[in-house]
Chains A and B, each alone.
Chain A
Amino acid sequence: MIVLAFLVQTLRIAIPYLFAAAGGVLSERAGIIALTLEGWMLTGAFTAVLGAHYSGSPWVGVLCGVAGGVLAAALHAVACIRYRGDQVVVGIAINLLAVAVTRFFLRLAFDSSSNSPRVVGFEFGTGDGGRGTGVLASLANPLVPLGVLSLVLVWWILYRTPFGLRLRAVGEKPEAAASVGVAVHRIRWIAVLGGGALAALGGTYLALEQHQFTDSMTAGRGFIALAAVIFGKWEPRRVALACLLFAAAETLQIQLQGLQLIPSQFVEMIPYVLTIVAVAGVVGRAAPPAALGKVSE
């Protein structure tokens, strides 16, 4: 039972990472740095709550969440692809923008500087006759299987479709891809918008699980997802394992909190330390896509 509870909690924590990391892989394999995952998630969480609040339906919330993420990603794409802005600078600015814009509209829409009112979520276990109130009930959320499938989907696109082949070519050798007629900019646009949609689903999951939007609620999860992308060497299956590993470490810390074995701050460091070790190449170098962050004319 303890094992089951552990696995379920790990999965719940991992879902936002899986969604965001899937978006990160998609974007970075096409050559666009995904420093913005955090901002896309936060925007998605906010627009999802807006949608769920005004419609009363979690599904409308999901749609609005995706739309918000795509919008934020479109801004990133315009700045980085159309106007060839520096991807790191623009990425950081969009993260700032997401925090500021969501706070601004939180005050405009709900007249609060901390949180939105309660919104509906995907409840199956509670409230309707006690159908499954155990640990598994928390998994009865359509976003859970979607999250698990997100990296599988990205893997399938990258390695099993002609589009994926072109996308990888654009991320490694854009000039070569362009010379054989691949529309480099169009593919990057699709990859960034898709990345925004996926990351926003991660934010949507968080917001609907907590039944509200709270200020800066993604709390660095986008960066943990980015760490998973890098630690997983931009390869969907490894990235998925990295997400689960980071989530398992977090779960372990929560479960062992009472024992005070390791301070929580040190558990927080795990994903970041592992990522630094990976890029330093101590155990098998993590090499990014060759054209990552490079401007393509």
Chain B
Amino acid sequence: MSLINEAIPDPAVAPLSRLSSRVGRATAALLPPLTALLIAAVVGDLLILSFGQSPAAVFKLLLEGTWGNAYGFGQVIYKATTLTFTGLAVAIGIRAGLFNIGAEGQLAMGGFCAALVGLLLPVGTPAVVAIPLCLAGAALGGASVASVPGVLKARFGASEVIVTIMLNFITLAFLNWLIATKLNVAESLHTPEINAGAVARLSSVIDAFRGSAANFVLLVALAAAGYVGWYLFRTRAGYDLRAVGLQPEAAEYGGVKVGSVWLRAMLMSGALAGLGGTNYVLGYKQYYEEGFAAGAGFLGIAVALVGRNHPAGVVVAALLFATLSQGGLAVNAVVPKQMVDVLTAVVIIAVATSVPEVQRLLRSTVRGGAK
């Protein structure tokens, strides 16, 4: 299957009005994720029944614990913030025809570098200076990790999938070593608290969010989504990037330097994943802690896939997976929270496999209707 869901104009659809082709495109984009959710719901029912519980009650509990109260919703927003960054990271890579599996390591490195900048700044540095510096540190940290697969792909054509997988382990081992030997607070696996660069929580403005980790890095995430959308669809460089993703040979023939587009896409992808680390480090704990990434990098793949590699879709998909993740905690007393991890995996598999099948089906019905 192709990971890129470019709406290729179908000659049979062309005579239809612009509006109805838009509706068709939206349906084509939405159907696989919706099918996947349906399959996941069925699997979820079976798992809940295997634990001797009532599916309706468990799903009700899941919704109440997430969207049903301000604290739960705040936690969903917090988790969705990190996932938006990693989802955008994976999506921009896929748009360029690159599969960045390394978001996990880039996220961790970004968080670490944000903490490092925050530690190096003197106490009392004004937030307007400190926060941008910490954000820049995070982006740079993530991009520096991603530069390895970027350069190796552009220069030697080395598979970015293999390099990023391997680099995850290397990055995490390196960070673990730094934390274990150089920077930790005694008896812990985290750095000291940062001197400057802390981002306020949403609860400082809206009291109802009290206790939840949701913070104003959320705005950075939304800005990043806006920027990626503008870059991909409104700039020349973004057009080149998408062209390379669809047909590298054709883009090369058209005068695009494929290698440098790949490198740039990989650096942007790494920077986005790295920024994700600030949600935890600047907005929540104010220190870097070993293992904070906890799979959010890998989940970025699911977010990008379900979000159809579109920034708006990524934000919605990030909310969906954040809801599942927080919902797992809400139902843990009744059924093991791993149920939602199973559902997440089922959604990914279903989306990955249903895309060509569903679209073929859809295309044939659209053709039938147009005749």
A84 x B156 contact (CB < 8 A):
no
Does residue A132 face the partner (Cβ distance < 8 Å to B)?
no
Contact flags (1/0) for A7-38 with B, using CB distance below 8 Å? 00000000000000000000000000001000
Inter-chain contact A104/B353, CB cutoff 8 Å: no
Instruction: Please tell me if B26 contacts chain A, counting CB pairs below 8 Å.
Output: no
CB distance from A150 to the nearest CB of B (A): 23
Other-chain residue from A89, A100, A108, A265 in contact with B352 (beta carbon distance below 8 A): A89
Once the chains bind, are A295 and B348 in contact (CB under 8 Å)? no
Q: Does A54 contact B (CB under 8 A)?
A: no
Beta-carbon contacts of B173-195 to A below 8 Å, as 1s and 0s?
11011001100000000000000
Number of A residues near B (Cβ < 8 Å) is 42
Q: Which of A57-95 touch B at CB < 8 Å? A: 75, 79, 83-86, 88-90, 92-94
Q: For the complex, what is the distance from the CA of A90 to the CA of B350, rounded to whole Å?
A: 9
Interchain CA distance A268-B169 in the complex, whole Å: 8
Chain A residues with Cβ below 8 Å from B82 are none
A20 CB to closest chain B CB (Å) equals 15
* Min CB–CB distance A113 → chain B (angstroms): 7
Q: Is the CB of B345 within 8 A of A97?
A: yes
- Residues in B with CB closer than 8 Å to A265 are 173-174, 176-177, 180
* Chain-A contact segment, one of B157-165, B241-249, B274-282: B157-165
**Cα–Cα distance between A52 and B174 once the two chains are bound (Å):** 38
Across-interface contacts of A125 in B (CB, < 8 A): none
Stretch from B106-114, B217-225, B228-236, B336-344 forming part of the interface with A: B336-344
The residue of chain B having its C-beta at the shortest distance from the C-beta of A97 within the complex is: B345
Q: Is B132 an interface residue (CB 8 A)?
A: no
- B237 in contact (CB, < 8 A): no
- B-side contacts of A288, CB under 8 Å: 159
Is B1 among interface residues, defined by CB-CB distance under 8 A? yes
A residues near B354, Cβ cutoff 8 Å: 83
**B156 close to A280 (CB less than 8 A):** yes
Complex alpha-carbon distance, A84 and B345, angstroms: 17
Contacts of B47 in A (CB 8 A): 104
**What are 20 A-B pairs at a CB distance below 8 A?**
A83-B356, A85-B1, A90-B353, A93-B349, A93-B352, A96-B344, A97-B341, A97-B342, A97-B346, A99-B338, A100-B342, A101-B342, A113-B336, A220-B169, A230-B162, A263-B181, A266-B173, A276-B158, A279-B152, A279-B163
| Residues of chain B at the chain A interface (Cβ within 8 Å) | 1, 3, 47, 50-51, 99, 101, 148, 152, 156, 158-159, 161-163, 165-167, 169-170, 173-174, 176-177, 180-181, 295, 298, 301-302, 305, 336, 338-339, 341-342, 344-346, 348-349, 352-354, 356-357
